[in-house]
Structure 1
Amino acid sequence: MSTTDNPAARLQALFEGHRLTPTQRRIAHSMVRRAADVPFLSSVELAELAGVSQPSVTRFAVALGFDGYPALRRHLREVAPAEPAAAADTASYNEYQQAVEAEIENLRHLAEVLADPAPVERAGRLLAASRPLPVLGLRAAAAQAYGFAYFAAKVHPDVRLLNEGGTMLHDRIDAAVTAGASTLLCFALPRHPKETVEALAYAKEAGLTVVTVADSAFAPVAGLSDLLLPAAVGTQLAFDTACAPMLLGRALLEVMCDGLPGAQTRLEAFDARAAAKGLFVE
Structure 2
Amino acid sequence: MNDTVVTGSTDRVLGLFEGVRLTPTQRRIAHCLVQHGSAVGYLSAAEVAELAGVSQPSVTRFATALGHDGYPALRRRLRELTAGTTGPADAGNELQQAVRTEIGNLDRLAGQLADRDRIAGAGRLLAASRPLPVLGLRAAAPLATYFAYFAAKVHPDVRVLDDGGSLLADRLDQAAAAGATVLLAFVLPRYPRETLDALREARAAGLTVVAITDSPVSPASEHADLVLPAGVGTDLVFDLHTAPMTLAMVLLQALCDAAPADTQRRLEAFEVSAARRQVFVS
Aligned equivalent of 2:140: 141
In the alignment, the residues of structure 2 paired with residue 160 and residue 52 of structure 1 have an alpha-carbon distance, to the nearest angstrom, of 36
Aligned to 1:153: 152
Matches of 2:23 and 2:159 in 1, distance apart? 35
- SS of the counterpart of 2:186? strand
The 8 Å contact of residues 119 and 229 in structure 1, kept in 2 or not, is answered as no
Contact 2:211 2:224 in 1 (8 A): yes
Pair 111,90 (structure 1): closer, same or farther in 2 beyond 3 Å: farther
Question: Does residue 264 of structure 2 align to residue 264 of structure 1?
Answer: yes
Percent identity, aligned pairs only?
48
Does the 8 Å CA contact 1:135/1:185 hold for their aligned counterparts? yes
Residue 248 of structure 1 and its aligned partner are, at CA, apart by 0.7
User: Structure 1, unaligned stretches of length 5 or more?
Assistant: 1-5
Equivalent-residue separation in structure 1 for 2:40 and 2:183 (angstroms): 41
Q: Which amino acid aligns with 1:43?
A: G
Q: Report the secondary structure of 1:212's partner residue.
A: strand
Shift of 1:125: 0.6
Residues 259-268 or 160-169, more deviating: 259-268
Instruction: Return the alpha-carbon distance in structure 1 between the equivalents of residues 126 and 190 of structure 2.
Output: 25
For residue 25 of structure 1, the aligned residue among 2, 24, 30 is 30
Match of 2:41 among 26, 29, 43: 43
Secondary structure at the counterpart of residue 240 of structure 1: coil
- Structure 2: tracts of 5 or more residues without a match: 1-10
Q: Which residue of 2 aligns with 1:184?
A: 183
What does 1:5-154 correspond to in 2, within 5 Å? 7=12, 10-13=15-18, 15-21=20-26, 24-30=29-35, 43-44=41-42, 59=60, 61-68=63-70, 71-72=73-74, 89=88, 91-154=90-153
Residue in 2 aligned with 1:197? 196
Whole-Å Cα distance in 1 between the matches of residues 94 and 81 of structure 2?
Answer: 30
Higher helix proportion, which one?
A: 2
Quick one: which amino acid aligns to residue 44 of structure 1?
Answer: Y
**1:277 CA displacement:** 2.1
Supply the AA of the counterpart residue of 2:280. Answer: F
TM (norm. structure 2) is: 0.81
Deviates more, 1:115-124 or 1:176-185: 115-124
Alignment of 1:174-253 (within 5 A): 174-253=173-252
- Corresponding letter in the other structure for 2:42: V
Residues 68 and 82 (structure 1 numbering): CA distance in 2 closer, same or farther, change over 3 Å? closer
Query: Deviation per CA, 1:86-113, whole angstroms, max 9, x where unpaired?
Result: 8764645122111101101111111111
**Helix, strand or coil: the match of 1:262?**
helix
Could you tell me how far 1:82 is from its partner in structure 2?
Answer: 10
Contact 2:180-2:207 within 8 A present in 1 as well? yes
Distance 2:81 2:209 in 1: 37
CA distance in 1, matches of 2:279, 2:104: 37
Query: Which stretches of structure 1, 4 residues or longer, exceed 6 Å deviation after superposition?
Result: 45-48, 55-58, 73-77, 81-87
Q: Deviations over 1:206-243 (max 9, x none)?
A: 10111110111111121110111111100001110111
